[in-house]
A and B are shown apart, each in its own frame.
Chain A
Amino acid sequence: MRHVHLAVVTASFLLAVGIAGCGSSPPINKEAPTAAIRAAEEVGASGVPTASLYLQLAKEGLEHAQGLAAQDEKEQAESMLQRAQCDAELAVALSRGDADKKEAAKAIDRVRQLREDNALPKERK
């Protein structure tokens, strides 16, 4: 009986340790890359040729990180999340650059058109 009691205590201890072990491995933090991907989508990265590739890579990186986390490869998962975040941020920058480029071209064309309409010289030094 005494042996039985010892076995139960030991099993309980091992179960507690096991549960504690599982609880000490917190999930990976996906907030930053997820927010960056959302921002890229909001600025229209999927419609910008130079940016859409990086948005896609970011999404794939996030999925890959989740897979690594599921395989308990937490360190690799965290590293992959950083890659995904960098891709998403680059997609945002390229999308904004594309919009700014279009806006600049529009502004230059507006000046050209204004000068043409008023029979002014093309260049203004």
Chain B
Amino acid sequence: MKNVISLMIAALAGVLAGCAASLPPPELVNARQAYERASVGQAAQVVPAELHKAQEALAVAEKSFQDDPTSFRTRDLAYIADRKAKMAEALATTSVENAAAATANKQYQATQADIVNNTKANLAASELSAAVVGGALVAEQKARLDAEKKAADAQADLATLAATKAETITLSGSVLFATNKSEILPAAQGRLNEVSDALLSKKDRNLTVEGFTDSRGSSSSNLELSQQRADVVRSYIVARGYPSDRIRARGIGEDRPAADNATAEGRATNRRVEIVVDSAVQTQ
């Protein structure tokens, strides 16, 4: 019995010793894990050569472990394999970071180019807008000048009109003619001579002699009388030396009264002869 127990103890010790001998050292365990991690990471794609070195180092360590599991050489080879696996991982990370930096630098340059292009486009748009605005300003300025010119022309027309009206010479009918007559009264000849002499200094103007009556009597007779009186005055002025082709006579009748026909005074004012001196100078 004692011998049997001794044999069992010896057998157990042998088994334990065998197990202890087959257990890998911590360095090898770490190397295996490091390689496993590196092989499933970026290293396989990015730095396959470095990963291959780690694989070879691990294989050497495994071989040493099989040959001499407990030797310092096995532990050191496993240690080196672990570092080579970590080295592969580190180089893979470096490569990825370098690629990221290169991509970022390209993006930076591309972005700068975009900004330059956008700036150029904005500048061109601004210039175009400025040109449009400038064109609008020019058009506005032209319109303003046109309006000012029109206003000036209108002012000039008004001035011309005023000048024309100012050169309308009004002669009282009561002074020139007897009632319902168209012969010039002798007393009026002096006044008419003064007017004629004044007109002779402006022979280059067209004259219109207009006869007016008051509202008494028929319109037709008034028109006829006014025409006769205008003709007489015209003839008188021509006789005084004014060019006949530049003076005409026109009977207006009772139209265009200058005063109220309801009163005697107004009617006297309406009986008149007006000599309109054209402001335009005739060259021929």
Contact = CB atoms under 8 A, between A and B. Distances in A.
Contacts of B84: 86
B108 A120 contact: no
Interface size grouping (class) on chain A: 20 to 34
Contacts of B115: 114, 118, 120
Interface size grouping (class) on chain B: 20 to 34
Interface string A94-108: 101100110110011
Interface string B72-114: 1100100110011011001101100110110011011011101
B104 A111 contact: yes
A61 to B, nearest CB: 9
A124 B111 contact: yes
Interface stretch (A2-10, A12-20, A77-85): A77-85
Given A100-B101, A104-B104, A114 B80 contact: no
A124 B107 CA distance: 8
Interface of A is mostly: helix
A80 B76 contact: yes
A79 B94 contact: no
B76 A83 contact: yes
B93 A111 contact: no
A79 B72 contact: yes
Interface string A63-101: 000000000000110011011001101100110110011
A111 B91 CA distance: 25
Given A90-B83, A100-B97, A120 B111 contact: yes
A83 B84 CA distance: 10
A91 B182 CA distance: 137
A97 B43 CA distance: 14
A107 B108 contact: yes
A107 B104 contact: yes
B98 A124 contact: no
A82 B80 contact: yes
Interface of B: 72-73, 76, 79-80, 83-84, 86-87, 90-91, 93-94, 97-98, 100-101, 104-105, 107-108, 110-112, 114-115, 118
Interface of A: 54, 75-76, 79-80, 82-83, 86-87, 89-90, 93-94, 96-97, 100-101, 103-104, 107-108, 110-111, 114-115, 118, 120, 124
29 contacts: A54-B83, A76-B72, A79-B72, A82-B76, A86-B79, A86-B83, A86-B84, A90-B86, A90-B90, A93-B90, A93-B91, A93-B94, A94-B90, A96-B94, A100-B97, A101-B97, A107-B100, A107-B101, A107-B104, A107-B105, A108-B101, A110-B108, A114-B112, A114-B115, A115-B111, A120-B114, A120-B115, A124-B107, A124-B111
